[in-house]
Amino acid sequence: MADAASRLMTLAEELLGGPLPVRLRAWDGSEAGPPARHRPSGEAPRTAPADADGPVLIVRDRRALRRLIWKPGELGLARAWVAGEIDVEGDLYELLDRISGLLWDRGQETRSLLDSLRDPALRAAARALLRLAGPLPPPKPPVEEVQGRSGRRHSKRRDEQAISHHYDVGNDFYELVLGPSMVYSCAYWPDADAGATLEGAQHDKLDLIARKLNLKEGDRLLDVGCGWGSLALHAARTYGARVVGVTLSREQAAYARRRVADEGLADLVEIRVQDYRDVVDGPYDAISSIGMAEHVGAVQYREYADTLYGLLKPGGRLLNHQISRRPEPDEDAYEVDAFIDAYVFPDGELAPMGRTLTTLEDAGFEVRDVEALREHYALTLRRWVANLERDWDRAVRLTSPGRARIWRLYMAASAVSFERNRIGVNQFLAVKTPAAGPSGTALRPRLWTEKA
Protein backbone atom coordinates (compact mmCIF):
# COMPACT_ATOMS: atom_id res chain seq x y z
CA MET A 1 0.00 0.00 0.00
CA ALA A 2 1.29 3.51 -0.83
CA ASP A 3 2.46 5.67 2.04
CA ALA A 4 0.09 8.28 3.52
CA ALA A 5 1.79 11.32 1.94
CA SER A 6 1.63 9.89 -1.59
CA ARG A 7 -2.01 8.92 -1.11
CA LEU A 8 -2.82 12.42 0.16
CA MET A 9 -1.09 14.00 -2.82
CA THR A 10 -3.03 11.79 -5.23
CA LEU A 11 -6.33 12.58 -3.51
CA ALA A 12 -5.56 16.31 -3.47
CA GLU A 13 -4.94 16.26 -7.20
CA GLU A 14 -8.23 14.46 -7.86
CA LEU A 15 -10.39 16.46 -5.43
CA LEU A 16 -8.82 19.89 -6.00
CA GLY A 17 -8.08 19.57 -9.69
CA GLY A 18 -4.33 19.87 -9.18
CA PRO A 19 -1.52 18.89 -6.81
CA LEU A 20 -0.57 20.74 -3.67
CA PRO A 21 2.21 23.17 -4.67
CA VAL A 22 4.22 22.37 -1.53
CA ARG A 23 5.92 19.33 -0.06
CA LEU A 24 3.73 17.23 2.21
CA ARG A 25 4.74 15.17 5.24
CA ALA A 26 2.18 12.79 6.77
CA TRP A 27 1.72 11.34 10.23
CA ASP A 28 3.55 8.13 9.25
CA GLY A 29 6.72 10.08 8.38
CA SER A 30 6.28 9.71 4.62
CA GLU A 31 6.78 12.69 2.28
CA ALA A 32 5.68 13.64 -1.20
CA GLY A 33 5.88 16.69 -3.45
CA PRO A 34 8.61 19.22 -4.27
CA PRO A 35 11.90 18.68 -2.40
CA ALA A 36 12.83 20.72 0.65
CA ARG A 37 15.60 20.73 3.21
CA HIS A 38 14.43 20.60 6.81
CA ARG A 39 15.31 22.59 9.87
CA PRO A 40 16.21 20.74 13.07
CA SER A 41 13.27 19.32 14.99
CA GLY A 42 12.32 21.18 18.17
CA GLU A 43 13.30 24.58 16.79
CA ALA A 44 10.86 27.41 17.50
CA PRO A 45 8.69 28.41 14.53
CA ARG A 46 10.06 30.99 12.16
CA THR A 47 8.75 32.26 8.90
CA ALA A 48 11.94 32.50 6.86
CA PRO A 49 14.56 29.84 7.65
CA ALA A 50 17.80 30.18 5.74
CA ASP A 51 18.17 26.45 5.15
CA ALA A 52 14.99 25.58 3.27
CA ASP A 53 14.36 25.30 -0.48
CA GLY A 54 10.64 25.36 0.14
CA PRO A 55 8.08 25.00 2.91
CA VAL A 56 6.68 21.68 4.07
CA LEU A 57 3.04 21.17 5.02
CA ILE A 58 2.93 18.66 7.87
CA VAL A 59 -0.19 16.61 8.59
CA ARG A 60 0.61 15.40 12.10
CA ASP A 61 -2.65 13.56 12.70
CA ARG A 62 -5.24 12.14 10.35
CA ARG A 63 -7.91 13.78 12.49
CA ALA A 64 -7.15 16.83 10.34
CA LEU A 65 -8.68 14.97 7.39
CA ARG A 66 -11.87 14.32 9.35
CA ARG A 67 -12.17 18.05 10.00
CA LEU A 68 -11.78 18.76 6.28
CA ILE A 69 -14.36 16.15 5.33
CA TRP A 70 -17.08 17.98 7.23
CA LYS A 71 -15.77 21.54 6.94
CA PRO A 72 -13.88 21.73 3.64
CA GLY A 73 -11.81 24.77 2.88
CA GLU A 74 -10.72 27.44 5.30
CA LEU A 75 -12.62 26.56 8.49
CA GLY A 76 -11.62 22.89 8.41
CA LEU A 77 -7.98 23.82 7.83
CA ALA A 78 -8.17 26.45 10.58
CA ARG A 79 -9.47 23.95 13.12
CA ALA A 80 -6.73 21.49 12.26
CA TRP A 81 -4.10 24.26 12.50
CA VAL A 82 -5.32 25.51 15.88
CA ALA A 83 -5.41 21.96 17.23
CA GLY A 84 -1.83 21.37 16.07
CA GLU A 85 -2.87 18.61 13.66
CA ILE A 86 -1.30 20.44 10.73
CA ASP A 87 1.80 22.58 10.80
CA VAL A 88 4.32 24.26 8.55
CA GLU A 89 8.06 23.73 8.43
CA GLY A 90 9.91 26.52 6.73
CA ASP A 91 8.68 29.84 5.36
CA LEU A 92 5.05 30.25 6.42
CA TYR A 93 4.60 33.27 4.15
CA GLU A 94 5.78 31.30 1.13
CA LEU A 95 3.47 28.40 1.90
CA LEU A 96 0.48 30.71 2.30
CA ASP A 97 1.35 32.42 -0.96
CA ARG A 98 1.66 29.09 -2.79
CA ILE A 99 -1.64 27.64 -1.58
CA SER A 100 -3.59 30.90 -1.65
CA GLY A 101 -5.16 29.88 -4.94
CA LEU A 102 -6.69 26.82 -3.30
CA LEU A 103 -8.38 28.91 -0.60
CA TRP A 104 -8.91 32.32 -2.21
CA ASP A 105 -9.08 31.98 -5.99
CA ARG A 106 -11.43 28.99 -5.92
CA GLY A 107 -13.92 30.93 -3.78
CA GLN A 108 -17.24 29.15 -3.52
CA GLU A 109 -16.06 26.22 -5.66
CA THR A 110 -14.91 24.36 -2.52
CA ARG A 111 -17.34 21.48 -2.03
CA SER A 112 -18.15 19.23 0.87
CA LEU A 113 -17.32 15.55 0.84
CA LEU A 114 -21.01 14.74 0.36
CA ASP A 115 -20.99 16.82 -2.84
CA SER A 116 -17.96 14.88 -4.01
CA LEU A 117 -19.65 11.57 -3.27
CA ARG A 118 -22.52 12.62 -5.57
CA ASP A 119 -20.08 13.35 -8.42
CA PRO A 120 -19.21 10.11 -10.28
CA ALA A 121 -15.84 11.53 -11.33
CA LEU A 122 -14.86 12.24 -7.70
CA ARG A 123 -16.68 9.43 -5.91
CA ALA A 124 -13.72 7.06 -5.75
CA ALA A 125 -11.37 9.79 -4.43
CA ALA A 126 -13.91 10.86 -1.81
CA ARG A 127 -14.31 7.30 -0.57
CA ALA A 128 -10.54 6.88 -0.44
CA LEU A 129 -10.30 10.02 1.67
CA LEU A 130 -12.91 8.61 4.04
CA ARG A 131 -10.87 5.44 4.48
CA LEU A 132 -7.64 7.39 5.02
CA ALA A 133 -9.25 9.75 7.55
CA GLY A 134 -10.21 6.97 9.92
CA PRO A 135 -13.24 6.68 12.19
CA LEU A 136 -15.86 9.40 12.03
CA PRO A 137 -17.39 11.72 13.32
CA PRO A 138 -14.98 14.69 13.27
CA PRO A 139 -13.28 15.93 16.46
CA LYS A 140 -14.86 18.78 18.39
CA PRO A 141 -13.73 22.30 17.43
CA PRO A 142 -10.77 23.66 19.44
CA VAL A 143 -11.74 25.49 22.64
CA GLU A 144 -10.36 28.75 21.18
CA GLU A 145 -13.20 28.86 18.62
CA VAL A 146 -15.81 31.46 19.53
CA GLN A 147 -18.85 29.90 21.14
CA GLY A 148 -22.24 31.02 22.36
CA ARG A 149 -22.78 34.20 20.39
CA SER A 150 -26.07 35.64 21.53
CA GLY A 151 -28.21 38.56 20.52
CA ARG A 152 -28.76 40.31 17.21
CA ARG A 153 -25.64 40.67 15.06
CA HIS A 154 -23.95 44.00 15.87
CA SER A 155 -26.26 44.72 18.77
CA LYS A 156 -24.47 46.39 21.69
CA ARG A 157 -24.50 43.19 23.72
CA ARG A 158 -23.13 41.02 20.93
CA ASP A 159 -20.50 43.58 19.93
CA GLU A 160 -19.27 43.62 23.54
CA GLN A 161 -18.95 39.81 23.45
CA ALA A 162 -17.03 39.95 20.16
CA ILE A 163 -14.64 42.62 21.41
CA SER A 164 -14.00 40.70 24.63
CA HIS A 165 -13.21 37.52 22.68
CA HIS A 166 -10.50 39.28 20.73
CA TYR A 167 -9.02 41.83 23.11
CA ASP A 168 -9.46 40.38 26.60
CA VAL A 169 -6.81 37.68 26.19
CA GLY A 170 -4.19 39.35 28.37
CA ASN A 171 -2.35 42.65 28.05
CA ASP A 172 0.99 40.87 28.54
CA PHE A 173 0.35 38.89 25.36
CA TYR A 174 -0.40 42.05 23.39
CA GLU A 175 2.75 43.69 24.76
CA LEU A 176 4.75 40.75 23.44
CA VAL A 177 3.22 40.99 19.94
CA LEU A 178 2.81 44.74 19.51
CA GLY A 179 5.93 45.91 21.29
CA PRO A 180 6.29 48.99 23.53
CA SER A 181 4.09 51.22 21.36
CA MET A 182 0.99 49.09 22.11
CA VAL A 183 -0.57 50.26 18.86
CA TYR A 184 -2.78 47.67 17.17
CA SER A 185 -3.13 49.13 13.69
CA CYS A 186 -0.72 49.53 10.82
CA ALA A 187 2.39 51.60 11.39
CA TYR A 188 3.50 54.32 8.98
CA TRP A 189 6.76 53.66 7.17
CA PRO A 190 7.76 56.81 5.24
CA ASP A 191 9.05 55.88 1.78
CA ALA A 192 8.38 52.22 2.67
CA ASP A 193 11.44 52.29 4.93
CA ALA A 194 11.49 48.69 6.14
CA GLY A 195 14.67 49.45 8.09
CA ALA A 196 12.86 51.72 10.55
CA THR A 197 11.93 50.38 13.96
CA LEU A 198 8.36 49.31 14.62
CA GLU A 199 8.12 51.73 17.54
CA GLY A 200 9.35 54.62 15.40
CA ALA A 201 6.92 53.77 12.61
CA GLN A 202 4.02 53.58 15.07
CA HIS A 203 4.98 56.97 16.51
CA ASP A 204 4.98 58.40 12.99
CA LYS A 205 1.50 56.95 12.39
CA LEU A 206 0.11 58.50 15.58
CA ASP A 207 1.62 61.84 14.66
CA LEU A 208 0.29 61.61 11.11
CA ILE A 209 -3.23 61.18 12.51
CA ALA A 210 -2.83 64.10 14.91
CA ARG A 211 -1.61 66.39 12.13
CA LYS A 212 -4.39 65.35 9.77
CA LEU A 213 -6.86 66.22 12.52
CA ASN A 214 -5.05 69.54 12.99
CA LEU A 215 -5.04 69.07 16.76
CA LYS A 216 -4.28 72.11 18.89
CA GLU A 217 -4.03 72.77 22.59
CA GLY A 218 -7.46 72.59 24.20
CA ASP A 219 -9.15 70.73 21.31
CA ARG A 220 -11.58 68.00 22.33
CA LEU A 221 -10.75 64.67 20.67
CA LEU A 222 -12.96 61.58 20.80
CA ASP A 223 -10.92 58.43 20.14
CA VAL A 224 -13.40 55.69 19.19
CA GLY A 225 -11.99 52.25 19.93
CA CYS A 226 -9.04 53.73 21.81
CA GLY A 227 -7.25 50.44 22.44
CA TRP A 228 -4.52 50.71 25.04
CA GLY A 229 -4.53 54.51 24.89
CA SER A 230 -1.52 55.20 22.67
CA LEU A 231 -3.17 57.79 20.40
CA ALA A 232 -4.95 59.47 23.33
CA LEU A 233 -1.65 59.82 25.18
CA HIS A 234 0.16 61.14 22.09
CA ALA A 235 -2.56 63.71 21.36
CA ALA A 236 -2.54 64.97 24.95
CA ARG A 237 1.22 64.84 25.51
CA THR A 238 2.32 66.35 22.20
CA TYR A 239 -0.56 68.61 21.21
CA GLY A 240 -2.31 69.45 24.48
CA ALA A 241 -5.62 67.98 23.32
CA ARG A 242 -8.32 66.96 25.80
CA VAL A 243 -9.13 63.37 24.92
CA VAL A 244 -11.98 60.98 25.65
CA GLY A 245 -11.12 57.42 24.64
CA VAL A 246 -13.84 54.75 24.49
CA THR A 247 -13.44 50.98 24.27
CA LEU A 248 -15.58 47.93 25.00
CA SER A 249 -12.60 46.00 26.37
CA ARG A 250 -12.23 46.24 30.14
CA GLU A 251 -8.65 44.96 29.97
CA GLN A 252 -7.72 47.64 27.45
CA ALA A 253 -9.36 50.34 29.55
CA ALA A 254 -7.56 49.29 32.73
CA TYR A 255 -4.22 49.27 30.94
CA ALA A 256 -4.82 52.66 29.28
CA ARG A 257 -5.87 54.25 32.59
CA ARG A 258 -2.64 53.09 34.23
CA ARG A 259 -0.63 54.63 31.41
CA VAL A 260 -2.53 57.90 31.74
CA ALA A 261 -1.89 58.00 35.49
CA ASP A 262 1.78 57.08 35.09
CA GLU A 263 2.30 59.98 32.68
CA GLY A 264 0.39 62.45 34.86
CA LEU A 265 -2.14 63.19 32.12
CA ALA A 266 -5.35 62.45 34.02
CA ASP A 267 -6.43 66.09 33.63
CA LEU A 268 -6.33 65.71 29.83
CA VAL A 269 -7.27 62.07 29.12
CA GLU A 270 -10.38 60.13 30.17
CA ILE A 271 -10.74 56.45 29.25
CA ARG A 272 -14.23 54.97 29.30
CA VAL A 273 -15.66 51.48 28.87
CA GLN A 274 -18.43 52.66 26.57
CA ASP A 275 -20.06 51.91 23.24
CA TYR A 276 -19.57 54.75 20.78
CA ARG A 277 -23.35 54.77 20.31
CA ASP A 278 -23.72 55.84 23.94
CA VAL A 279 -21.43 58.88 23.75
CA VAL A 280 -23.60 61.98 24.25
CA ASP A 281 -21.22 64.69 25.47
CA GLY A 282 -20.40 66.31 22.15
CA PRO A 283 -19.59 68.40 20.33
CA TYR A 284 -15.97 67.42 19.71
CA ASP A 285 -13.41 69.25 17.64
CA ALA A 286 -12.10 65.99 16.18
CA ILE A 287 -12.83 62.26 16.16
CA SER A 288 -10.39 59.45 15.45
CA SER A 289 -11.54 55.93 14.65
CA ILE A 290 -8.47 53.78 14.05
CA GLY A 291 -9.05 50.13 13.16
CA MET A 292 -12.45 50.09 14.83
CA ALA A 293 -14.89 50.43 11.92
CA GLU A 294 -14.20 46.83 10.82
CA HIS A 295 -16.26 45.77 13.85
CA VAL A 296 -19.25 47.92 12.92
CA GLY A 297 -20.78 45.77 10.18
CA ALA A 298 -22.48 46.74 6.92
CA VAL A 299 -25.97 46.99 8.39
CA GLN A 300 -24.78 49.41 11.11
CA TYR A 301 -22.33 51.49 9.11
CA ARG A 302 -24.70 54.33 8.26
CA GLU A 303 -25.66 54.60 11.93
CA TYR A 304 -21.95 54.69 12.77
CA ALA A 305 -21.33 57.53 10.30
CA ASP A 306 -24.41 59.44 11.47
CA THR A 307 -23.39 59.10 15.12
CA LEU A 308 -19.89 60.44 14.54
CA TYR A 309 -21.23 63.26 12.39
CA GLY A 310 -23.60 64.26 15.17
CA LEU A 311 -20.81 64.31 17.76
CA LEU A 312 -18.66 66.78 15.79
CA LYS A 313 -18.94 70.53 15.89
CA PRO A 314 -19.33 72.33 12.52
CA GLY A 315 -15.92 72.25 10.87
CA GLY A 316 -14.84 69.29 13.00
CA ARG A 317 -12.71 66.55 11.48
CA LEU A 318 -13.00 62.76 11.41
CA LEU A 319 -10.02 60.51 10.72
CA ASN A 320 -11.40 57.07 9.86
CA HIS A 321 -8.66 54.43 9.48
CA GLN A 322 -10.16 51.19 8.15
CA ILE A 323 -9.24 47.90 6.45
CA SER A 324 -11.04 47.40 3.14
CA ARG A 325 -11.64 44.49 0.79
CA ARG A 326 -11.86 44.32 -2.96
CA PRO A 327 -15.37 44.77 -4.41
CA GLU A 328 -17.23 41.58 -5.31
CA PRO A 329 -18.96 41.17 -8.70
CA ASP A 330 -22.03 40.10 -6.74
CA GLU A 331 -21.95 42.01 -3.45
CA ASP A 332 -24.85 39.95 -2.08
CA ALA A 333 -22.60 36.88 -2.28
CA TYR A 334 -19.95 38.36 0.04
CA GLU A 335 -19.23 36.17 3.05
CA VAL A 336 -17.19 36.92 6.15
CA ASP A 337 -13.85 35.10 6.27
CA ALA A 338 -14.53 31.80 8.08
CA PHE A 339 -11.24 31.60 10.02
CA ILE A 340 -11.31 35.26 11.07
CA ASP A 341 -14.94 35.03 12.14
CA ALA A 342 -14.48 31.86 14.19
CA TYR A 343 -11.14 32.62 15.83
CA VAL A 344 -10.08 36.25 15.51
CA PHE A 345 -12.73 38.94 14.99
CA PRO A 346 -16.21 37.48 15.53
CA ASP A 347 -18.77 39.32 13.40
CA GLY A 348 -16.10 41.49 11.82
CA GLU A 349 -16.81 42.68 8.26
CA LEU A 350 -14.78 44.45 5.60
CA ALA A 351 -16.30 46.89 3.14
CA PRO A 352 -14.91 48.11 -0.19
CA MET A 353 -13.26 51.52 0.03
CA GLY A 354 -15.86 53.08 -2.28
CA ARG A 355 -18.75 52.00 -0.09
CA THR A 356 -17.12 53.54 2.98
CA LEU A 357 -16.55 56.83 1.18
CA THR A 358 -20.14 56.92 -0.11
CA THR A 359 -21.59 56.21 3.32
CA LEU A 360 -19.54 59.00 4.92
CA GLU A 361 -20.76 61.39 2.25
CA ASP A 362 -24.37 60.24 2.66
CA ALA A 363 -24.08 61.04 6.38
CA GLY A 364 -23.14 64.62 5.49
CA PHE A 365 -19.34 64.53 5.62
CA GLU A 366 -17.14 66.17 3.04
CA VAL A 367 -14.34 63.68 2.36
CA ARG A 368 -11.22 65.75 1.90
CA ASP A 369 -8.56 63.09 1.53
CA VAL A 370 -8.07 59.33 1.23
CA GLU A 371 -4.64 57.79 1.78
CA ALA A 372 -3.97 54.12 1.02
CA LEU A 373 -1.55 52.37 3.39
CA ARG A 374 -1.77 48.78 2.13
CA GLU A 375 1.97 48.11 1.93
CA HIS A 376 2.46 49.72 5.35
CA TYR A 377 0.22 47.12 6.97
CA ALA A 378 2.10 44.23 5.37
CA LEU A 379 5.36 45.54 6.84
CA THR A 380 3.73 46.00 10.25
CA LEU A 381 2.29 42.49 10.33
CA ARG A 382 5.64 40.95 9.49
CA ARG A 383 7.16 42.78 12.46
CA TRP A 384 4.38 41.53 14.75
CA VAL A 385 4.90 37.95 13.55
CA ALA A 386 8.63 38.31 14.23
CA ASN A 387 7.88 39.51 17.77
CA LEU A 388 5.60 36.52 18.38
CA GLU A 389 8.06 33.99 17.01
CA ARG A 390 10.98 35.54 18.90
CA ASP A 391 9.23 34.90 22.23
CA TRP A 392 7.10 31.92 21.25
CA ASP A 393 7.36 29.92 24.46
CA ARG A 394 6.28 32.89 26.57
CA ALA A 395 3.39 33.61 24.21
CA VAL A 396 2.16 30.04 24.68
CA ARG A 397 2.43 30.37 28.47
CA LEU A 398 0.52 33.66 28.46
CA THR A 399 -2.39 32.29 26.41
CA SER A 400 -2.48 28.74 25.07
CA PRO A 401 -0.75 26.82 22.26
CA GLY A 402 -3.89 27.17 20.16
CA ARG A 403 -4.19 30.92 20.72
CA ALA A 404 -0.55 31.50 19.80
CA ARG A 405 -1.02 29.43 16.63
CA ILE A 406 -4.14 31.46 15.75
CA TRP A 407 -2.22 34.70 15.96
CA ARG A 408 0.73 33.41 13.96
CA LEU A 409 -1.50 32.22 11.13
CA TYR A 410 -3.84 35.23 11.25
CA MET A 411 -1.04 37.80 11.08
CA ALA A 412 1.03 35.98 8.46
CA ALA A 413 -2.00 35.30 6.25
CA SER A 414 -3.08 38.94 6.61
CA ALA A 415 0.39 40.11 5.52
CA VAL A 416 0.13 37.96 2.40
CA SER A 417 -3.39 39.30 1.74
CA PHE A 418 -2.14 42.88 1.87
CA GLU A 419 0.85 42.05 -0.32
CA ARG A 420 -1.37 40.34 -2.91
CA ASN A 421 -3.82 43.30 -2.87
CA ARG A 422 -6.73 41.20 -1.66
CA ILE A 423 -7.29 43.69 1.16
CA GLY A 424 -6.18 47.25 1.78
CA VAL A 425 -6.26 49.86 4.50
CA ASN A 426 -7.20 53.50 4.06
CA GLN A 427 -7.31 56.70 6.05
CA PHE A 428 -10.33 58.90 5.26
CA LEU A 429 -10.13 62.52 6.38
CA ALA A 430 -13.68 63.87 6.47
CA VAL A 431 -15.02 67.21 7.63
CA LYS A 432 -18.38 68.27 8.98
CA THR A 433 -18.39 71.21 6.59
CA PRO A 434 -20.73 74.10 7.41
CA ALA A 435 -23.62 74.62 5.01
CA ALA A 436 -21.84 77.68 3.65
CA GLY A 437 -18.25 78.70 4.00
CA PRO A 438 -14.81 77.10 4.00
CA SER A 439 -14.10 73.60 5.28
CA GLY A 440 -11.27 74.73 7.51
CA THR A 441 -8.98 72.24 5.76
CA ALA A 442 -5.64 73.37 4.40
CA LEU A 443 -5.60 74.19 0.71
CA ARG A 444 -2.47 72.07 0.49
CA PRO A 445 -3.95 68.67 1.34
CA ARG A 446 -0.57 67.06 2.04
CA LEU A 447 0.49 69.70 4.57
CA TRP A 448 0.27 67.14 7.40
CA THR A 449 2.99 65.02 5.83
CA GLU A 450 5.50 67.80 6.54
CA LYS A 451 6.70 67.51 10.11
CA ALA A 452 7.21 70.65 12.07
Q: Are residues 185 and 45 in the same domain?
A: no
Asked if the model's pLDDT at residue 39 lies above 60, the reply is no
Nearest to 85 by CA among 94, 76, 95: 76
* Residue at 139 is within a domain: no
Q: If pLDDT is split at 50, 70 and 90, which confidence band does 291 have? A: very high
Q: What is the pLDDT of residues 73-108, one digit of tens each?
A: 788 889 999 999 999 999 999 999 988 766 555 544
pTM: 0.89
Q: What is the pLDDT of residues 103-141, one digit of tens each?
A: 555 544 445 555 555 666 566 777 777 788 887 777 899
% of the chain exceeding 70 in pLDDT:
81
* Residue at 144 is within a domain: no
* Residue at 138 is within a domain: no
Asked which of 133, 167, 195 is the last residue of a domain, the reply is 133
Query: Where is 22: in which H helix or E strand?
Result: none
Mutual angle of helices 4-16 and 120-133, in 10-degree steps: 150
Which carries the bigger pLDDT value, residue 452 or residue 394?
394
pLDDT, residue 452, reads 42
Domain enclosing residue 169, as ranges: 156-449
Nearest to 288 by CA among 353, 231, 327, 326: 231
Over range 67-76, report the average pLDDT: 81
pLDDT, residue 50, reads 41
Count how many domains the chain has: 2
* Residue at 140 is within a domain: no
CA 217 to chain centre: 34
* Residue at 406 is within a domain: yes
CB 251 within 8 A of CB 225: no
* Residue at 261 is within a domain: yes
* Residue at 145 is within a domain: no
Q: What is the pLDDT of residues 315-361, one digit of tens each?
A: 999 999 999 999 887 766 567 788 888 888 777 789 999 999 999 99
**CATH number of the domain to which 245 belongs:** 3.40.50.150
